[in-house]
Amino acid sequence: MRTQVVIVGGGPAGTLLARLLAAEGIESVVLELRSRDHVLSRIRAGVLEQGSVEVLSSIGLGGRIARDGFVHGGVNLAFANRMFRVDFEGLVRRSVTIYGQTEVQKHLYEACDRSGQEIHFEAEEVKLFDLDTTNPFATSVINGQLHRVEGDFIAGCDGGHGVSRTMIPNPRTYERVYPFGWLGILSETPPVNDELIYNNHERGFALCSMRNPNLSRYYLQCPLETTVEDWPDDRFWEELKRRLPTRTAEGLVAGASIEKSITPLRSMVTEPMSHGRLYLAGDAAHIVPPTGAKGLNLAISDVVYLARALAEHYRRGSDEALSRYSETALGRVWKAVRFSWWMTTLMHRFEDQGSFGQRVQEAELDYLASSPAAQTAMAENYTGLPID
């Protein structure tokens, strides 16, 4: 097979890139390791930055997001049995939209179906070749048969455990592994609050989120060695109530979990994000802890930059934007990595920092509660810095 852009990975980054390229008349072929159902079965975060909503709207997803998404004009931070709201709309005139990543992925696949986009699921053993030539290609094994796809470019959108990142020679890897995980639960109960609540507590972090008025999403900071089996529903709900402000806990509606999982937290960036005709985007290049809800939003901004640069190549024969892609994308990536690290460090219990660390966190939260300047800084980062 021959195409213009070979896309490795059919998650949000890969499929959104395919749609953005198609809008520019650029052909692509997507090679996805898993089945479509498996990709759609993944439970992921659910916060879209305002800029991400604008990008998804530009490829026709705006109506669904406006209909089924929940626009939030702020978030709540709780600590020391207090709670305060950071008013995004009042401070920076921007908002975020609660909309499940699974829904985004479902609509991206449907858009690919409607347009006849070529996606090969269960494409195994993907290997990349001739990246430093103008005719790179990928091989894969599909239904036991060896396939070869040639292209002008290869986009590595294969996530945190993919093959593309391993093809960057001598990469610089920056990593911070956090000494805890998030235990997440989905329950068909009314959310405890109509907006998100991020809780700092000496017993550990807790997050109150939602998917719709009868589908709640909660997370508890948990030790890395814990397992889902250690946390029957009753224990989860009791611990969540202990970490919430008293008045909030009184309104908590517990119920049977319909999903429960544990996610480790780490920050990681690989530099550079390109080599020859290979360009990395999304989790293939960087991983952020879910505290700042940046993972999906960074995948979106990466592929916006990459699609613009590829369009310049095909439309004007200019490779200037492609040559600057890594620098451009990393400029926004590192600001989001910093913000995610800052929120994680501020809101979680770090045993090695003891009671002093807890009091310093509470002092910073007390300052944030009373400073419009500090809240403005948080608001512009949480709602998303511009995709320049």
Site for ligand PHB in 320-379 (CB under 6 A): none
Tell which one of 16, 262, 293, 379 touches ligand PHB (CB under 6 A): 293
Chain Cα centroid distance, residue 48: 9
Is 241 tagged catalytic?
no
The DSSP call for residue 132 is: T
- Taking the least distance from each CB to ligand PHB, the nearer of 15 and 199 is 199
For ligand PHB, the binding residue among 291, 301, 344, 383 (CB under 6 A) is: 291
Q: Which is nearer to ligand PHB, 5 or 45 (CB)?
A: 45
Tokens of 177: 């592994």
Interatomic CA distance for residues 182 and 236, integer angstroms: 12
For ligand PHB, the binding residues in 40-79 under the rule CB under 6 A are 45-47
Which among ligand APR, ligand PHB, none contacts residue 131 (Cβ within 5 to 8 A by kind)?
Answer: none
Tokens 């097979």 belong to: 1
46 binds, among ligand APR, ligand PHB, none (CB under 5 to 8 A by kind): ligand PHB
CB atoms within 10 A of CB 63: 9
Answer with the entry of ligand APR, ligand PHB, none that 299 interacts with (C-beta below 5 to 8 A by kind).
ligand APR
Strand, coil or helix: 61? coil
From the CB of 103, what's the least distance to ligand PHB, in Å? 12
209 binds ligand PHB (CB under 6 A): yes
Q: Is the peptide bond before 191 cis (omega within 30 degrees of 0)?
A: no
Q: Report how far residue 123's alpha carbon sits from residue 144's, in angstroms, rounded to the nearest whole number.
A: 9
Length of the chain: 388
- Told to judge if 174 belongs to the known catalytic residues of this protein, a careful annotator would answer no
Given 120, 275, 294, 313, which residue is catalytic?
294
10 binds, among ligand APR, ligand PHB, none (CB under 5 to 8 A by kind): ligand APR
Task: Choose among ligand APR, ligand PHB, none what residue 34 binds, the Cβ cut-off being 5 to 8 Å by kind.
Answer: ligand APR
Minimum CB separation of residue 70 from ligand PHB in Å reads 11
Instruction: Outline where DSSP puts E strands in the chain.
Output: 5-8, 28-31, 47-49, 70-72, 74-79, 82-87, 96-98, 118-120, 124-129, 137-142, 145-150, 153-156, 172-187, 197-199, 206-212, 215-222, 257-271, 274-275, 278-280, 286-287
**Token couple for 21:** 């390229």
| Chain position carrying tokens 């991983």 | 287
Is residue 294 annotated as part of the catalytic site, yes or no? Answer: yes
- Closest separation between CB of residue 200 and ligand PHB, Å? 14
31 binds ligand PHB (CB under 6 A): no
Asked if residue 280 lies in contact with residue 305, where contact means CB atoms within 8 angstroms, the answer is: no
109 is catalytic: no
Query: Residue 69: which of ligand PHB, ligand APR, none does it interact with, CB under 5 to 8 A by kind?
Result: none
Least CB distance to ligand APR at residue 26 (A)? 19
* Active site annotation includes 127: no
Nearer to ligand PHB, 291 or 375 (CB): 291
Nearest to 378 by CA among 85, 37, 16: 85
Which of 198, 218, 279, 305 is catalytic? The answer is: 198
Single-letter amino acid, residue 231:
W
Backbone angles phi, psi at 131, to 5 degrees: -65, -25
To ligand APR, the closest distance from the beta carbon of 302 in angstroms equals 8
Active site residues: 72, 198, 290, 294, 382
Residues near ligand PHB, by CB under 6 A:
45-47, 196, 209, 217, 290-291, 293
